[in-house]
Every structure is written in C-alpha cells, then in structure tokens.
C-alpha cells in the first residue's frame, strides 16, 4: 500500500480550513500520524500486547476511531483468545474504505487472523455489544467535550469483567510552565521529523477547533465518574499518553 508523504500544509493556504478526515488526509495518514504523534508506533504495537492480556474468549474487541486500522492489525497480531471478533469503527468514509483495503492485505499475508467488521458509523451512535477490550487510540479528543462522559459510561457498561478500555490522548497540562515546555518539545519533535514552520503553523490552526485535549486529571476523574474502578497510565511520550481503564 502506498506510503505517501504528508505535504498537506506545505503550501500557504490563506484561510486555513478546519481539519477533516477526508480522502486527502486518509491518503497520507500513516506518514502524518507517525511524524506528529511521539511514540505512535510503540503505542499501537503495545495495544496489541495489552489486548492479549485483557481479551476474553467469545467476545468483541472494539477499535473506535480506527482510521486505517493500525490498532486493529495489532489486535489481530497479538490476541490469541478463542473466537474473538474485532469491530473497527470510524465515521470517515475515506478512512473506512482504505481501512478495508489494508485489512484485506493483512488477510492475504497471514492465516487464521481474528475476523473483523469495519463499520462506518459515529461511535456516539453505536449499540455496544458485550466486549472485553475497547481501544480508543487518539479518538476521544475529537468527540465534543460534553459528549465524552456519556460515551465513556456506555463503554463501561458494555465491558465484561476482566476487560479494559485503552485510551490514548494528547494531554493538556494544568501547570502553564509544564504546558509550555511540552508544547515546545512537541514542536521540536515535528521539526525533527521534517515539518516546516509553515506546515506546523497551518496544521495547528486547522486542528485547534476540532481537537480538544484534556488533562490527565480530567481523564482520570471522568473515567472514574463513568464507573471505571481504576485508571493506570502505561505510556507517555512528551504530551501524548495512553491509559488503561479497568471496569
Ligand atoms: C490509529 N486510532 O491509527 N465516530 C467515529 N469515528 C470518529 C469520530 C466519531 N464520533 N470522531 C472522530 N473519529 C487511529 C488514529 S485518528 C487520530 C485515530 C488523529 C475518527 C476520525 O475519522 C479519525 O479517523 C479518528 O477518529 C482519529 O491508531 O488523527 O490524531
């Protein structure tokens, strides 16, 4: 599958439109997310490993906001529990179409992978089945803030005993100096990955109305309010973190 370089914000755009997960983004997405999210390949692969611990036989594993299905592929590499099924969900038609192609390519290369259903849907509208693993890898931050508590409560109600929610997010920091330092270091990460000052500035204005990060404390409190019993951070690189939330 093509690995096109992300040049979406390389030319001056005048008025920068709000970021949308359209065909242009889907085409360059693997390159974009690797060069923008510190630790992304490590997080994705290890969600598969963590899922291997939490997955229960005869249950559903959800990949919510699956984009091109990187997490789904990791789940299929690592989960050995019997008769599990992955349901990968995204509301971007462009992402879903390409995700199906990537998963067909994985099916062509490996045998006996977990079955997958790729669904084009809004994760807020989904009828959640009993599940042992829910992965939301950098998706909740795109859901309207006021809709996050109810979504988490619904996921919590669907989770089976012994299962887990794995939630990865960009973090905001309550302390202004910490926020400034980690923002600067994240910009250095993007520069080191070849993004120009123009690309960084235009991407930032495209995404600022669309993606709303919370602090670790907000995540923790909201997850506990939603009925989770324990929140365990397992990964952080700069201002990007991943948490395990236990039912
Ligand atoms: C990965 N998890 O590669 N319903 C369904 N999908 C949604 C919704 C919604 N309400 N809101 C946003 N999305 C992936 C990366 S990207 C993160 C996830 C990023 C989808 C959206 O269409 C996009 O594909 C994804 O969530 C977020 O591990 O680009 O920073």
What structural domains and CATH numbers belong to the chain?
A: 40-172+211-246 (3.40.50.150)
Look at residue 6 and tell me whether its pLDDT is greater than 90: no
Mean pLDDT over 79-88 rounds to: 96
Q: Which atom of ligand 1 is nearest to the CA of 138?
A: 17
Mean pLDDT over 56-67 rounds to: 98
- How confident is residue 111, by pLDDT bands cut at 50, 70 and 90? confident
Q: How far apart are CA 62 and CA 75, in angstroms?
A: 10
Predicted pLDDT at 14: 83
Look at residue 11 and tell me whether its pLDDT is greater than 90: no
Mean pLDDT over 49-68 rounds to: 98
Q: How far apart are CA 35 and CA 3, in angstroms?
A: 13
Return the exposure string of 48-68: e unless at least 16 CB atoms fall within 10 Å of the residue's CB, then b: bebbbebbbeebbbbbbbbbb
Q: Which atom of ligand 1 is nearest to the CA of 63?
A: 2
CB of residue 124 inside a 6 A radius of ligand 1: yes
Look at residue 12 and tell me whether its pLDDT is greater than 90: no
Predicted pLDDT at 162: 97
Predicted pLDDT at 201: 87
Q: How far apart are CA 64 and CA 90, in angstroms?
A: 7
Predicted pLDDT at 15: 86
Q: Which of 45, 47, 90, 210 to mutate to test the pocket of ligand 1 (most atoms within 8 A of CB)?
A: 90
Predicted pLDDT at 175: 97
CB of residue 90 inside a 6 A radius of ligand 1: yes
Predicted pLDDT at 26: 95
CB of residue 235 inside a 6 A radius of ligand 1: no
Predicted pLDDT at 31: 94
Beta pairing partners, 134: 62, 165
| Atom 19 (ligand 1) nearest CA | 138
Q: Which atom of ligand 1 is nearest to the CA of 124?
A: 10
Predicted pLDDT at 246: 98
Task: Name the 3-class secondary structure at 57.
Answer: coil
Q: What is the pTM of this model?
A: 0.96
Look at residue 152 and tell me whether its pLDDT is greater than 90: yes
Predicted pLDDT at 2: 60
**What is the average pLDDT value for the chain, to the nearest integer?**
95
Please report the beta strands in the chain, taking only residues with DSSP state E, as ranges in sequence order.
60-64, 85-90, 116-120, 131-137, 159-172, 214-215, 230-237, 240-246
Look at residue 1 and tell me whether its pLDDT is greater than 80: no
Mean pLDDT over 146-162 rounds to: 98
What residues form the annotated binding site?
Answer: 40, 65-67, 90-91, 122-123, 137, 204
């Amino acid at each position: 599958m093509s690995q096109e370089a992300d040049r979406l914000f390389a030319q001056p755009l005048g008025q920068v439109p709000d970021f949308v997960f359209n065909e242009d983004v889907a085409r360059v997405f693997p390159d974009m997310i690797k060069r923008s999210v510190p630790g992304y390949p490590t997080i994705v692969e290890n969600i598969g490993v963590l899922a291997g611990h939490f997955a229960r036989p005869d249950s559903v594993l959800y990949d919510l906001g699956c984009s091109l299905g990187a997490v789904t592929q990791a789940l299929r590499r690592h989960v050995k529990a019997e008769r599990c099924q992955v349901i990968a969900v995204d509301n971007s038609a462009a992402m879903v179409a390409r995700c199906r192609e990537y998963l067909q390519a994985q099916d062509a290369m490996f045998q006996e992978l977990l079955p997958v259903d790729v669904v084009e849907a809004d994760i807020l509208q989904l009828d959640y089945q009993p599940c042992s693993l829910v992965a939301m890898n950098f998706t909740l931050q795109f859901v309207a803030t006021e809709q996050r508590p109810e979504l988490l409560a619904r996921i919590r109600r669907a989770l089976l005993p012994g299962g887990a929610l794995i939630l990865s997010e960009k973090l905001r920091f309550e302390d202004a100096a910490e926020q400034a330092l980690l923002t600067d270091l994240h910009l250095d990460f993007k520069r080191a990955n070849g993004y120009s000052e123009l690309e960084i500035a235009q991407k930032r204005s495209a995404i600022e109305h669309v993606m709303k990060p919370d602090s670790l404390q907000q995540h923790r409190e909201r997850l506990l309010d939603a009925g989770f019993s324990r929140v365990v951070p397992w990964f952080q690189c700069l201002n990007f973190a991943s948490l395990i939330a236990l039912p």
